[in-house]
Amino acid sequence: MRKIRRLLENKTGWWFLSVLAVGWVAGLFHAQPAGAEYADVVLNRLSEANGVRPVIYPHWFHRIRFRCKVCHSELGFKMKAGGNDINMLELMDGKFCGSCHNNNIAWGLENCHRCHSGLKGLETGIRGGHKAGGPGVW
Ligand code: HEC
Ligand code: HEC
Ligand code: HEC
Protein backbone atom coordinates (compact mmCIF):
# COMPACT_ATOMS: atom_id res chain seq x y z
CA MET A 1 0.00 0.00 0.00
CA ARG A 2 2.77 2.45 0.88
CA LYS A 3 4.25 1.98 -2.58
CA ILE A 4 0.93 2.82 -4.23
CA ARG A 5 0.56 5.95 -2.09
CA ARG A 6 4.02 7.06 -3.14
CA LEU A 7 3.05 6.52 -6.79
CA LEU A 8 -0.09 8.63 -6.33
CA GLU A 9 2.05 11.50 -5.12
CA ASN A 10 3.78 12.13 -8.43
CA LYS A 11 2.73 12.47 -12.07
CA THR A 12 4.66 9.55 -13.47
CA GLY A 13 3.05 7.47 -10.75
CA TRP A 14 -0.41 8.48 -11.94
CA TRP A 15 0.49 7.68 -15.49
CA PHE A 16 1.82 4.29 -14.43
CA LEU A 17 -1.30 3.48 -12.42
CA SER A 18 -3.62 4.50 -15.29
CA VAL A 19 -1.78 2.21 -17.66
CA LEU A 20 -2.21 -0.60 -15.15
CA ALA A 21 -5.92 0.17 -14.78
CA VAL A 22 -6.52 0.24 -18.54
CA GLY A 23 -4.64 -3.03 -18.90
CA TRP A 24 -6.74 -4.57 -16.16
CA VAL A 25 -10.05 -3.47 -17.72
CA ALA A 26 -8.96 -4.68 -21.15
CA GLY A 27 -8.02 -7.97 -19.53
CA LEU A 28 -11.51 -8.27 -18.07
CA PHE A 29 -13.09 -7.89 -21.49
CA HIS A 30 -10.67 -10.33 -22.96
CA ALA A 31 -11.66 -12.92 -20.36
CA GLN A 32 -15.31 -12.86 -21.46
CA PRO A 33 -16.74 -16.19 -22.67
CA ALA A 34 -14.77 -17.02 -25.75
CA GLY A 35 -17.27 -18.96 -27.83
CA ALA A 36 -16.56 -22.15 -29.66
CA GLU A 37 -12.87 -21.60 -30.11
CA TYR A 38 -12.18 -22.70 -26.57
CA ALA A 39 -15.32 -24.64 -25.81
CA ASP A 40 -17.06 -27.95 -26.23
CA VAL A 41 -19.88 -28.24 -28.75
CA VAL A 42 -22.82 -30.50 -27.90
CA LEU A 43 -24.38 -32.14 -30.96
CA ASN A 44 -27.77 -33.60 -30.30
CA ARG A 45 -29.89 -33.02 -33.36
CA LEU A 46 -30.22 -36.76 -33.98
CA SER A 47 -28.35 -38.66 -31.31
CA GLU A 48 -30.75 -38.97 -28.42
CA ALA A 49 -33.78 -39.32 -30.67
CA ASN A 50 -32.01 -42.36 -32.10
CA GLY A 51 -31.06 -43.99 -28.84
CA VAL A 52 -27.47 -42.85 -28.33
CA ARG A 53 -26.01 -40.21 -26.02
CA PRO A 54 -25.43 -36.68 -27.30
CA VAL A 55 -22.06 -36.05 -28.94
CA ILE A 56 -19.55 -33.88 -27.11
CA TYR A 57 -17.21 -32.31 -29.60
CA PRO A 58 -14.23 -30.70 -27.86
CA HIS A 59 -13.62 -27.77 -30.18
CA TRP A 60 -10.66 -26.43 -28.20
CA PHE A 61 -8.92 -29.80 -28.33
CA HIS A 62 -9.16 -29.86 -32.13
CA ARG A 63 -8.39 -26.24 -32.86
CA ILE A 64 -5.02 -26.42 -31.17
CA ARG A 65 -4.14 -29.30 -33.50
CA PHE A 66 -5.54 -28.10 -36.83
CA ARG A 67 -6.00 -24.83 -38.66
CA CYS A 68 -9.52 -23.42 -38.79
CA LYS A 69 -9.65 -23.80 -42.54
CA VAL A 70 -9.10 -27.56 -42.45
CA CYS A 71 -12.57 -28.00 -40.97
CA HIS A 72 -14.38 -24.79 -41.80
CA SER A 73 -13.41 -24.67 -45.43
CA GLU A 74 -11.93 -27.96 -46.64
CA LEU A 75 -14.26 -30.31 -44.71
CA GLY A 76 -17.27 -28.03 -45.03
CA PHE A 77 -18.22 -27.50 -41.36
CA LYS A 78 -20.26 -24.30 -41.10
CA MET A 79 -19.22 -22.08 -38.20
CA LYS A 80 -22.43 -22.49 -36.28
CA ALA A 81 -23.18 -24.79 -33.38
CA GLY A 82 -25.87 -27.17 -34.59
CA GLY A 83 -25.67 -25.64 -38.06
CA ASN A 84 -24.40 -28.77 -39.78
CA ASP A 85 -26.72 -31.41 -41.07
CA ILE A 86 -24.43 -34.35 -40.34
CA ASN A 87 -25.31 -37.95 -39.56
CA MET A 88 -23.57 -41.23 -38.88
CA LEU A 89 -23.81 -42.54 -42.45
CA GLU A 90 -21.97 -39.52 -43.78
CA LEU A 91 -19.25 -40.01 -41.18
CA MET A 92 -18.87 -43.64 -42.22
CA ASP A 93 -18.58 -42.33 -45.77
CA GLY A 94 -15.47 -40.48 -44.63
CA LYS A 95 -17.06 -37.05 -44.38
CA PHE A 96 -16.95 -34.49 -41.55
CA CYS A 97 -15.66 -36.14 -38.33
CA GLY A 98 -15.19 -39.31 -40.37
CA SER A 99 -12.50 -37.75 -42.52
CA CYS A 100 -10.13 -37.97 -39.54
CA HIS A 101 -11.72 -40.53 -37.21
CA ASN A 102 -10.87 -43.40 -39.49
CA ASN A 103 -8.04 -45.17 -37.62
CA ASN A 104 -5.63 -43.25 -39.75
CA ILE A 105 -5.45 -39.62 -38.64
CA ALA A 106 -7.30 -40.40 -35.38
CA TRP A 107 -9.04 -43.35 -33.73
CA GLY A 108 -11.96 -44.79 -35.67
CA LEU A 109 -15.73 -44.65 -35.58
CA GLU A 110 -16.07 -47.96 -33.74
CA ASN A 111 -15.29 -46.03 -30.53
CA CYS A 112 -18.90 -44.89 -30.20
CA HIS A 113 -18.63 -43.82 -26.57
CA ARG A 114 -15.74 -41.45 -27.19
CA CYS A 115 -18.03 -39.18 -29.20
CA HIS A 116 -21.42 -40.14 -27.80
CA SER A 117 -20.33 -39.24 -24.31
CA GLY A 118 -22.83 -36.56 -23.25
CA LEU A 119 -25.41 -36.80 -20.51
CA LYS A 120 -28.99 -37.34 -21.59
CA GLY A 121 -31.01 -34.20 -22.14
CA LEU A 122 -28.13 -31.95 -23.25
CA GLU A 123 -29.18 -29.57 -25.96
CA THR A 124 -27.18 -28.75 -29.07
CA GLY A 125 -24.99 -25.72 -28.45
CA ILE A 126 -21.79 -24.41 -26.89
CA ARG A 127 -20.76 -25.58 -23.43
CA GLY A 128 -18.04 -24.37 -21.18
CA GLY A 129 -16.35 -21.39 -22.82
CA HIS A 130 -12.77 -21.25 -21.62
CA LYS A 131 -13.57 -23.86 -18.98
CA ALA A 132 -14.24 -26.59 -21.50
CA GLY A 133 -13.75 -30.00 -20.00
CA GLY A 134 -13.97 -32.35 -22.94
CA PRO A 135 -15.69 -35.71 -23.19
CA GLY A 136 -17.27 -37.08 -20.06
CA VAL A 137 -17.63 -33.77 -18.25
CA TRP A 138 -21.09 -32.74 -19.46
C1 HEC B 1 -16.06 -39.30 -34.26
C2 HEC B 1 -17.28 -39.16 -33.51
C3 HEC B 1 -18.33 -40.23 -33.57
C4 HEC B 1 -18.20 -41.58 -33.35
C5 HEC B 1 -16.93 -42.33 -32.97
C6 HEC B 1 -19.50 -42.16 -33.48
N7 HEC B 1 -20.42 -41.19 -33.77
FE8 HEC B 1 -22.42 -41.48 -34.00
N9 HEC B 1 -22.62 -39.49 -34.47
C10 HEC B 1 -21.63 -38.56 -34.46
C11 HEC B 1 -22.17 -37.27 -34.83
C12 HEC B 1 -21.39 -35.98 -34.91
C13 HEC B 1 -23.55 -37.47 -35.04
C14 HEC B 1 -24.62 -36.40 -35.34
C15 HEC B 1 -24.98 -35.87 -33.96
C16 HEC B 1 -26.31 -35.22 -33.78
O17 HEC B 1 -26.61 -34.27 -34.50
O18 HEC B 1 -27.08 -35.66 -32.89
C19 HEC B 1 -23.81 -38.88 -34.81
C20 HEC B 1 -25.06 -39.48 -34.90
C21 HEC B 1 -25.34 -40.79 -34.54
C22 HEC B 1 -26.68 -41.36 -34.51
C23 HEC B 1 -27.97 -40.63 -34.87
C24 HEC B 1 -28.62 -41.17 -36.12
C25 HEC B 1 -27.84 -40.99 -37.39
O26 HEC B 1 -28.13 -41.73 -38.34
O27 HEC B 1 -26.93 -40.19 -37.49
C28 HEC B 1 -26.54 -42.67 -34.10
C29 HEC B 1 -27.67 -43.69 -33.89
C30 HEC B 1 -25.13 -42.90 -33.89
N31 HEC B 1 -24.41 -41.73 -34.18
C32 HEC B 1 -24.59 -44.09 -33.48
C33 HEC B 1 -23.22 -44.35 -33.35
C34 HEC B 1 -22.67 -45.65 -33.06
C35 HEC B 1 -23.49 -46.91 -32.78
C36 HEC B 1 -21.31 -45.49 -33.05
C37 HEC B 1 -20.25 -46.56 -32.84
C38 HEC B 1 -20.33 -47.72 -33.73
C39 HEC B 1 -21.03 -44.09 -33.30
N40 HEC B 1 -22.22 -43.43 -33.51
C41 HEC B 1 -19.77 -43.53 -33.33
C42 HEC B 1 -20.30 -38.78 -34.14
C43 HEC B 1 -19.75 -40.00 -33.84
C1 HEC C 1 -11.21 -30.29 -36.40
C2 HEC C 1 -12.25 -29.43 -36.91
C3 HEC C 1 -12.34 -27.97 -36.53
C4 HEC C 1 -11.32 -27.04 -36.44
C5 HEC C 1 -9.84 -27.23 -36.70
C6 HEC C 1 -11.95 -25.79 -36.07
N7 HEC C 1 -13.29 -25.97 -35.94
FE8 HEC C 1 -14.66 -24.54 -35.44
N9 HEC C 1 -16.15 -25.94 -35.41
C10 HEC C 1 -15.99 -27.26 -35.74
C11 HEC C 1 -17.24 -27.97 -35.51
C12 HEC C 1 -17.49 -29.45 -35.74
C13 HEC C 1 -18.16 -27.00 -35.03
C14 HEC C 1 -19.62 -27.25 -34.60
C15 HEC C 1 -20.47 -27.36 -35.80
C16 HEC C 1 -21.85 -27.86 -35.48
O17 HEC C 1 -22.27 -27.77 -34.32
O18 HEC C 1 -22.52 -28.36 -36.39
C19 HEC C 1 -17.45 -25.73 -35.00
C20 HEC C 1 -18.02 -24.52 -34.64
C21 HEC C 1 -17.37 -23.31 -34.71
C22 HEC C 1 -18.01 -22.03 -34.46
C23 HEC C 1 -19.49 -21.79 -34.12
C24 HEC C 1 -19.67 -21.42 -32.69
C25 HEC C 1 -21.08 -21.00 -32.34
O26 HEC C 1 -21.19 -20.32 -31.33
O27 HEC C 1 -22.04 -21.34 -33.02
C28 HEC C 1 -17.04 -21.07 -34.62
C29 HEC C 1 -17.19 -19.56 -34.47
C30 HEC C 1 -15.79 -21.76 -34.93
N31 HEC C 1 -16.03 -23.12 -34.98
C32 HEC C 1 -14.59 -21.13 -35.16
C33 HEC C 1 -13.38 -21.79 -35.37
C34 HEC C 1 -12.09 -21.12 -35.46
C35 HEC C 1 -11.88 -19.61 -35.37
C36 HEC C 1 -11.15 -22.10 -35.65
C37 HEC C 1 -9.64 -21.98 -35.75
C38 HEC C 1 -9.00 -21.23 -34.69
C39 HEC C 1 -11.86 -23.37 -35.69
N40 HEC C 1 -13.19 -23.14 -35.52
C41 HEC C 1 -11.25 -24.60 -35.90
C42 HEC C 1 -14.83 -27.86 -36.18
C43 HEC C 1 -13.58 -27.28 -36.21
C1 HEC D 1 -9.17 -32.69 -38.98
C2 HEC D 1 -9.27 -33.97 -38.28
C3 HEC D 1 -10.38 -34.18 -37.27
C4 HEC D 1 -11.72 -33.95 -37.43
C5 HEC D 1 -12.44 -33.38 -38.63
C6 HEC D 1 -12.36 -34.37 -36.19
N7 HEC D 1 -11.43 -34.86 -35.33
FE8 HEC D 1 -11.77 -35.48 -33.41
N9 HEC D 1 -9.77 -35.78 -33.14
C10 HEC D 1 -8.81 -35.64 -34.11
C11 HEC D 1 -7.51 -36.03 -33.55
C12 HEC D 1 -6.18 -36.05 -34.31
C13 HEC D 1 -7.75 -36.40 -32.22
C14 HEC D 1 -6.73 -36.92 -31.21
C15 HEC D 1 -6.64 -38.40 -31.37
C16 HEC D 1 -5.78 -39.08 -30.36
O17 HEC D 1 -5.53 -38.51 -29.29
O18 HEC D 1 -5.37 -40.21 -30.64
C19 HEC D 1 -9.18 -36.22 -31.99
C20 HEC D 1 -9.80 -36.47 -30.78
C21 HEC D 1 -11.17 -36.41 -30.56
C22 HEC D 1 -11.82 -36.67 -29.29
C23 HEC D 1 -11.13 -37.05 -27.99
C24 HEC D 1 -10.66 -35.81 -27.26
C25 HEC D 1 -9.88 -36.15 -26.00
O26 HEC D 1 -10.03 -35.40 -25.01
O27 HEC D 1 -9.12 -37.14 -26.02
C28 HEC D 1 -13.17 -36.56 -29.51
C29 HEC D 1 -14.27 -36.76 -28.50
C30 HEC D 1 -13.36 -36.21 -30.91
N31 HEC D 1 -12.12 -36.11 -31.50
C32 HEC D 1 -14.59 -36.03 -31.52
C33 HEC D 1 -14.77 -35.54 -32.82
C34 HEC D 1 -16.07 -35.23 -33.41
C35 HEC D 1 -17.41 -35.46 -32.74
C36 HEC D 1 -15.82 -34.72 -34.64
C37 HEC D 1 -16.80 -34.17 -35.64
C38 HEC D 1 -17.78 -33.18 -35.16
C39 HEC D 1 -14.37 -34.73 -34.83
N40 HEC D 1 -13.78 -35.23 -33.70
C41 HEC D 1 -13.72 -34.28 -35.96
C42 HEC D 1 -9.00 -35.21 -35.40
C43 HEC D 1 -10.20 -34.78 -35.95
The band of 22, judged by pLDDT with boundaries at 50, 70 and 90, is low
Q: Which ligand 2 atom is at minimum distance from the Cα of 96?
A: 12
- CATH code, 60: 3.90.10.10
- What residues flank ligand 1, with Cβ below 6 Å? 43-47, 50, 52, 55, 86-89, 91, 97, 101, 109-112, 114-116
Residue 70 within a domain: yes
Residue 17 within a domain: yes
pLDDT at 30: 44
The band of 136, judged by pLDDT with boundaries at 50, 70 and 90, is low
Residue whose Cα lies nearest atom 12 of ligand 2: it is 77
> How far is CA 6 from each of CA 14, 18, 20, 23, 59, rounded to the nearest angstrom?
10, 15, 16, 21, 47
Total domains in the fold of the chain: 2
Residue 118 within a domain: yes
* pLDDT(31) > 50: no
Closest ligand relative to 125 C-alpha = 2
pLDDT tens per residue across span 76-117: 999 999 999 999 999 999 999 999 999 999 999 999 999 999
Residue ranges of alpha helices (H) inside the chain are 2-8, 11-30, 59-63, 68-69, 88-92, 112-115
Domain with 17, as residue range(s), is 1-32
pLDDT at 28: 45
- Do 20 and 44 fall into the same domain? no
The band of 134, judged by pLDDT with boundaries at 50, 70 and 90, is low
pLDDT at 128: 80
- What residues flank ligand 2, with Cβ below 6 Å? 35-37, 41, 43, 57, 59, 62-63, 66, 68, 70-72, 77, 79-84, 126
Residue 9 within a domain: yes
pLDDT tens per residue across span 32-67: 444 556 789 999 999 999 999 999 999 989 999 999
**Whole-angstrom Cα distance, residue 123 to residue 41?**
10
Q: Provide the whole-model pTM.
A: 0.85
| CB distance 133 to 60 below 8 Å | no
| CB distance 86 to 65 below 8 Å | no
